[in-house]
Amino acid sequence: MRRLSLYRFIIPAMSIRPLSPVEGRVLATLMEKARTVPDSYPLTLNMVVTGCNQKTARDPIMQIDDEQAQLALDALKGLSLVFETSGGRVTRFEHNFQRVFHVPEQSAVVLGLLMLRGPQTAGELRINTERWYRFADISSVEGFLEELQDRSEEKGGPLVVKLPRAPGAREQRWAHLVCGPVDMALAATSYEAHMPGVGELSHLQGRMDSLEHEVAQLRETVEKLCTELGLSQGGQP
């Protein structure tokens, strides 16, 4: 039988302190796995650590050990954001994000992705949330982001912030505030780190030029064969 802790329902969002990076990663990992691998959820400590240390769909990539994960889980339990379940030989953990922060499912999905993958545009969030929740369009994602940004102080204050447009970027990115204020300089550095460098751009341009040349040669060959066979380019005699 699963044992639920009653205290998890009573802490209002305004009393939640900013989470540490490890606490944020542990919480977001639980939020992710609850949706993407429901058959394995709730998670054991080992599963939490494995999920936190994934090399894909994580920014930044972290290396958390069992002790760090357990300390984070204990701290999150104290905030009612995580609770234990019993009934098996191994203790398992569930998140309680929506009830504590008083946000709808869609907002929780957006926040979970921002906590796992770092700042993203509304378009990126819509793509990355496919396995969590299917938003109708980008405007619906933006609507929930704006609600989270305009959240009143009575409800705990804003949970996301829209970052200044980065040089060369077409869209502005959003970042979460669950772990406290965003370091704008660090966010800008993170964006630049994901942008291709001059050397890489030069290589890509060279590769594109080469492919365009190959396509032109293939077209010339096809036209020549069509002429020799008495065919039109559409393949008709």
For residue range 92-149, list pLDDT tens digits in order.
Answer: 999 999 999 999 999 999 999 999 999 999 999 999 999 999 999 999 999 999 999 9
Beta strands in the chain (DSSP E): 43-44, 82-85, 92-95, 160-162, 174-176
**Which CATH number does the domain housing residue 54 bear?**
1.10.10.10
Q: Are residues 11 and 91 in the same domain?
A: yes
Residue 76 lies in a domain: yes
Question: Are 51 and 80 found together in one domain?
Answer: yes
Name the percent of the chain lying above pLDDT 90.
64
Instruction: Say if pTM beats, i.e. exceeds, 0.85.
Output: no
Secondary element (H or E) of residue 145: helix 138-149
Classify residue 155 by burial, with Cβ atoms within 10 Å: 0-12, 13-18, 19+: middle
**Do residues 137 and 151 both lie within one domain?**
yes
Q: What is the per-residue pLDDT for 18? A: 96
Contact predicate 26/73, CB 8 Å: yes
Tens of pLDDT, residue by residue over 197-214, are 445 555 566 667 667 767
24-28, 35-39, 209-213: least confidently modelled range: 209-213
- Tell me which residue range forms the domain holding 216: 196-237
Residue 89 has pLDDT above 90, yes or no: no
**Segment among 17-26, 166-175, 212-221 with least mean pLDDT:** 212-221
Tokens (6 digits) for 124: 């990126």
Q: Clarify whether residues 54 and 96 are in a common domain.
A: yes
Neighbouring C-beta atoms of residue 41, cutoff 10 Å: 18
Would you state the pLDDT for residue 201? 55
Instruction: Indicate if the pLDDT at residue 187 is higher than 70.
Output: no
Provide the number of structural domains found in the chain.
3
Confidence category of residue 161, pLDDT binned at 50, 70, 90: very high
| Helix, strand, coil distribution of the chain in percent, nearest 5 | 55, 5, 40
Residue 1 domain-assigned?
no
CA–CA separation, 71 and 76 (whole Å) = 9
- Please give the full DSSP string across 183-219, using - where no structure is assigned: -HHHHHHHHHHHS--HHHHHHHHHHHHHHHHHHHHHH
